[in-house]
Amino acid sequence: MRKKSFTLVEILIISIIVGILSTIGVTQYFPARERALDAEAKVNLKLIQAAMKIYGMEVGGFFNSGDAAELNQDLKLALPARNWVYSTEEATGDVSATRKDSPAGWDRIWNLTNIGDGEPICVSGRCP
């Protein structure tokens, strides 16, 4: 009586199929992750700008530029500092987000100007 088992050819075919599917998945992972991080930066830039306007109304002046800890403390925000470095321009009210620790070729800078209620724009790096 023969034991039921897989042949070498069947195992090779399954290995090749799994390899092809994992290659497709990995190549789509990084662009999808970076699009999600871009969305995070855009939302946080709008949030910072709105908080700066509220700060200006409450205090009667412009917010002095600072790092993420100062932004969180003075503007009463809770911005994560994992993926982006946020900065503000006191004179113009512009806000920018610079990608930190990005994989090679994925570094970008998003900027939101204080003119109107426009959308953040990618000003340097690998823009989408």
Listed in sequence order, the DSSP H helices in the chain are 8-59, 68-74
Does a structural domain hold residue 103?
yes
Does a structural domain hold residue 21?
yes
> Cβ distance 37 to 99 under 8 Å?
yes
Does a structural domain hold residue 107?
yes
Does a structural domain hold residue 86?
yes
Does a structural domain hold residue 12?
yes
More confident residue, 51 or 67: 51
Does residue 117 surpass a pLDDT of 70?
no
Domain that holds residue 54: 8-125
Percentage, residues of the chain above pLDDT 70: 94
Q: What is the mean pLDDT of residues 22-26?
A: 90
At residue 108, the pLDDT reads 87
Does residue 56 surpass a pLDDT of 70?
yes
Residue 116: pLDDT band with limits 50, 70, 90? low
* Rounded (to 5) percent helix, strand, coil in the chain: 45, 15, 40
pLDDT tens, position by position, 63-85: 776 677 788 888 888 888 788 88
Rounded-to-integer distance, Cα 96 and Cα 112, Å: 6
Q: In total, how many domains does the chain have?
A: 1
Does a structural domain hold residue 25?
yes
Does a structural domain hold residue 67?
yes
At residue 26, the pLDDT reads 87
